[in-house]
Amino acid sequence: MSKKKGLLIITLSILLASCSAKGSTSNQIDKEAIKAYPNQTINMIIPFGEGSASDAFVRQYSQILSERSDVNFQPINKDGSSGLLGMLYTYQQNNDGYNVLEITPSQVIADNLDKSDKVKLLDDFEPLVQIQSDIYVLSVAEDSPIKNYDELIKKGKKDKLTIGGTSSTGLDDFATSKFKSEANINSEFIPYKSGSEVKAAALGGEVDVYLDKVVNVVDYVKSNKVRPLVIFNEDRINKIEEFKSVPTTKEKGLDVDIGSWRGFVIKKGTPEAVKKQLTKQLKEAYETEEYKTYAKNNLVDIGEGYLGPDEFEKKLEEEYEKFDEISDDLGI
C-alpha cells in the first residue's frame, strides 16, 4: 500500500468516526429535548388573516391551552394563497413540536388542485386532532319567490339557478358543485370576495340562492331577512328553533354533507412522544367548560366535534378523495 493511499484511509476513518460521534451526541440532545418537551413557546400557526373565524378560534383555543400549561401557546398569522403560505411556513420550521398548524378544507383543496410544488398537506404533515366543524345551508332572501326546497329544485330543473358564495375553486364552489350534481339541476356558482358581499347579493336579488355557514345565517333567519331551504348534513339542527323544520340533504336523498372544519397538524417526523403530548393537551382543552361555552356561543357544537389522530387522518383521506372527484367534475 502506498503512503498516500494509507494516509487517505486513515483520514476517512477519522472523519467517519467523527461523524458517528456527532450523530450520537445529536441523538442524545434529541432525547433530552423530547423529555423536556414542552419547555418553550409553542407557535400556533393561523394560515388566514386576523379577524377571520379561523383566527378567532385559534386565539381562543391558544388562550385555553396556555392557561393549562407551563408554556405559552402563541397565535401567529401567516395569511396568503388560501392557507398555503402558512402551511409552507410551518413546513420550513423544525419538526420539534413547537410549530402547530391549523388546517381547514382549504389546504386539502390546495393539494387536490396542485397549487404548490413545495409543500403538500397529506405528504408533509401528520394529523393531531379535529376540534370543530361548521354546517352549510342554502338560503334565499325572505321576499324570494322560492319558498322551499322543492321549489328550489323545480326552478333548477326548469331554468338556471344562480348560487352565491365565496372563492372560485374554493370550498363553497366545491360544495355547490356537488349539490348541483346530486340534485341534477342546472346552476351557476357566482363567487364573491367576502361573506358580507354574498349576503348583500342575495338580499339584493343578484343571485337566486346563497351558500353560507349556519352560524353566519342564524341571525338573519331570526330577523326574517332570509329563509333557509336545506342544510348540507345528515341530521336536522334541533338545537336551533328556527332550523328544526329545515330539511337535510340526506332527507332529500342527496349525498352532500360538505362543510367546513378546523383542526391541527404537525410537521411529519415530529417525535411520537411529542405528538402524544400535544394531542393530550389539545384534547384536554376541548373538554374544558371554557371551550364548551365558546363552542355553544359560536354554534360550532352543532356539527362534528373532536376527532383523534387516527380518525382525523381517515377523514382527511376521505375529504381528499371527495374533493378530487369534484375537481374532475369542475374540470380544474
**Structure confidence at residue 23 (pLDDT):** 35
pTM summary value: 0.89
The string of pLDDT tens digits covering residues 262-282 is 999 999 999 999 999 999 999
**Structure confidence at residue 21 (pLDDT):** 37
Written in H, E and C, the secondary structure of 41-67 is CEEEEECCCCCCHHHHHHHHHHHHHHH
**Between residues 13 and 49, the one the model is more confident about:** 49
Averaged pLDDT, 315-325: 96
**Structure confidence at residue 16 (pLDDT):** 36
The string of pLDDT tens digits covering residues 169-199 is 999 999 999 999 999 999 999 999 999 999 9
pLDDT for residue 93 is more than 50: yes
Averaged pLDDT, 115-135: 96
Band of the pLDDT at 8, cuts 50, 70, 90? very low
If we measure between CA atoms, which residue out of 215, 216, 210 comes closest to residue 230? Answer: 210
Averaged pLDDT, 158-167: 96
**Structure confidence at residue 164 (pLDDT):** 98
**Structure confidence at residue 109 (pLDDT):** 95
Three cell numbers written together for 324: 378530487
Helix (H) or strand (E) holding 19: helix 3-36
Question: 316: exposed, middle or buried (C-beta count within 10 Å: 0-12, 13-18, 19+)?
Answer: buried
pLDDT for residue 298 is more than 70: yes
Pairing of strands 209-213, 73-77: unpaired
